[in-house]
């Protein structure tokens, strides 16, 4: 059924800076996080992966080759699939890499910036930050300026870390506890795409560590898993189909406080500002008591063309906007 815009309008949307001010500076750099902070979001997001020596770094991919010069610096350290995995490098090695805008390799082997009109490739000395460094930046600014800007870490590729013998979730909880995030009252959400891992965090890890953080179940479509391979084999155990079925959201609510769906999962393509067609998932989530933090709002996003012109209005609908996002 079609619902009107005003039915879901909220005056004070939540703002989460996705990968920092990634619309302006290379994603997940401390520079992008400081700029995001200056825009006063409610939360700043961190994607988290592990190093060979069990440190947590803030990086979107569990490999280093999309945003750093790892291939030039360590040409012999790629795995068979040609990727350079963070888990094969120590923190010191990773911190010695140069980071730049995300790039693609063209057919002549040249690196081409993903955002060619934005920040020039390799012109600055950006680096990969640790999670601790980023939290210290945010908490330091909170103290200096008197705000309470939160953190929104995402556990990346737990399946991969598991196969490599690492417990990334446990390592993350340890760091969060060390920095004072241990209850639902603390300004932090932990998000993950893997329902099995989130359930484990909620049912086992957090009780054992006397922690009770807010958890968000990120949602994708099951067939997106095709891209997740491990040493040439499909190793991805996630299945999201059950979340879209009736009662699925109530099941999620048993271990999580909210969902992070891809935004088109909530609103029909034919929706306009005045006539939003809210898909059943949103209603199910709300009645299960889950907060809904969809990803990702971008001013320049062409994929969701019907929303692009009035995206500021749309953001109110979902009480979650990412105006600082790229």
- Residues forming contacts to Ca ion in the complex (CB under 5 A) are 47, 154
The residue ranges of DSSP E strands in the chain, in sequence order, are: 3-4, 14-17, 43-50, 56-58, 103-105, 111-113, 150-155, 189-192, 214-218, 229-230, 233-234, 258-260, 275-276, 291-292, 320-321
Does the active-site annotation cover 293? no
Of 214, 169, 206, 158, the closest CA to residue 189 belongs to 214
In the complex, least distance from residue 295 CB atom to ligand G3P, rounded to whole angstroms: 4
Residue 154 sits in the site that holds ligand G3P (CB under 6 A): yes
**Region 48-77 residues binding ligand G3P, contact defined as CB under 6 A:** 60
Q: Report the SS3 class of residue 81.
A: coil
Query: What is the maximal distance between C-alpha atoms in the chain?
Result: 58
DSSP-assigned letter for residue 128: P
Residue 225 makes contact with ligand G3P by CB under 6 A? no
Q: How far is the CB of 218 from ligand G3P (least distance, A)?
A: 5
Looking at the Cβ atoms of 93 and 153, the one nearer to ligand G3P is 153
| Active-site annotation holds for 60 | yes
Q: According to CB under 6 A, which one of 20, 26, 195, 260 is a site residue for ligand G3P? A: 260
Q: Which does 260 bind (CB under 5 to 8 A by kind): ligand G3P, Ca ion, none?
A: ligand G3P
Q: Name which of ligand G3P, Ca ion, none residue 318 binds, using a CB cut-off of 5 to 8 Å depending on partner kind.
A: none
Paired tokens of 11: 């005056």
Site string for ligand G3P, 281-300 (x = CB under 6 A): --------------xx----
Token match 């099951």: residue?
A: 222
* Options 191, 214, 225, 236; binder of ligand G3P; rule CB under 6 A: 191
Taking residues 33 to 52 in sequence order and writing x for each that binds ligand G3P by CB under 6 A, - otherwise, the string is ------------x-x-----
CA atoms of 158 and 110, how far apart (whole Å): 32
> In the chain, which residue ranges form alpha helices assigned H by DSSP?
30-38, 70-73, 91-95, 131-145, 158-163, 168-178, 195-200, 206-208, 241-244, 248-253, 280-287, 305-308, 311-317
Asked whether the beta carbons of 183 and 211 are under 8 A apart, the reply is yes
- 252 binds ligand G3P, rule: CB under 6 A: no
Cβ-based nearer residue to ligand G3P, 45 or 88: 45
Minimum distance, C-beta of residue 17 to ligand G3P, in the bound complex (Å): 11
Select the binding partner of residue 218 from ligand G3P, Ca ion, none (C-beta < 5 to 8 A, by kind).
ligand G3P
Which one of residues 135, 138, 218, 314 is an interface residue with ligand G3P (CB under 6 A)? 218
Give the residue with the Cβ less far from Ca ion, 27 or 182.
27
Q: Work out what residue 66 binds among ligand G3P, Ca ion, none; the CB cut-off runs from 5 to 8 Å by kind.
A: none
- How far, rounded to the nearest angstrom, does the alpha carbon of residue 25 sit from its chain's CA centroid? 17
- CB-nearest residue to ligand G3P: 295
> Quick count: other Cβ atoms within 10 Å of Cβ 128?
26
Distance, in Å, from the CA atom of 185 to the CA atom of 213, rounded to the nearest integer, reads: 8
What are the distances in angstroms from CA 125 to CA 27, 73, 74, 137?
14, 15, 18, 18
Interface residues toward ligand G3P, by CB under 6 A:
18, 45, 47, 60, 154, 191, 218, 260, 295-296
Residues annotated as catalytic (active site), given as ranges: 18, 60
């Amino acid at each position: 059924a079609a619902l009107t815009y005003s039915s879901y309008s909220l005056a004070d949307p939540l703002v989460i800076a996705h990968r920092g001010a990634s619309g302006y500076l290379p994603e997940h750099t401390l520079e992008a996080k400081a700029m995001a902070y200056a825009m006063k979001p409610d939360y700043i997001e961190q994607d988290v992966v592990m190093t060979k020596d069990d440190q947590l770094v803030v990086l979107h991919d569990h490999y280093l080759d999309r945003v750093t010069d790892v291939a030039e610096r360590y040409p012999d350290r790629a795995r068979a699939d040609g990727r350079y995995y963070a888990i094969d490098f120590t923190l010191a090695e990773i911190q010695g890499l140069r980071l730049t805008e995300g790039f693609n390799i063209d057919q002549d082997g040249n690196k081409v910036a993903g955002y060619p009109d934005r920040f020039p490739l390799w012109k600055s000395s950006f680096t990969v930050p640790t999670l601790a460094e980023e939290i210290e930046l945010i908490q330091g600014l909170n103290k200096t300026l008197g705000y309470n800007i939160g953190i929104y870490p995402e556990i990346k590729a737990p399946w991969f870390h598991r196969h490599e013998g690492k417990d990334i979730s446990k390592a993350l909880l340890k760091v969060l506890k060390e920095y004072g995030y241990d209850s639902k009252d603390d300004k932090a959400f932990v998000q993950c795409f893997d329902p099995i891992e989130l359930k484990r965090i909620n049912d086992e890890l957090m009780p054992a560590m006397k922690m009770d953080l807010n958890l968000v179940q990120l949602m994708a479509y099951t067939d997106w898993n095709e891209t997740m391979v491990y040493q040439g084999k499909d190793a991805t155990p996630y299945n999201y189909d059950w979340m879209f079925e009736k009662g699925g959201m109530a099941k999620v609510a048993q271990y999580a406080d909210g969902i992070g769906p891809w935004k088109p999962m909530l609103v029909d393509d034919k929706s306009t500002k005045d006539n939003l067609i809210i898909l059943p998932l949103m209603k199910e989530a709300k009645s299960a008591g889950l907060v809904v933090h969809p990803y990702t709002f971008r001013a320049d996003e062409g994929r969701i063309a019907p929303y692009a012109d009035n995206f500021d209005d749309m953001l109110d609908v979902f009480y979650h906007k990412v105006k600082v996002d790229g």
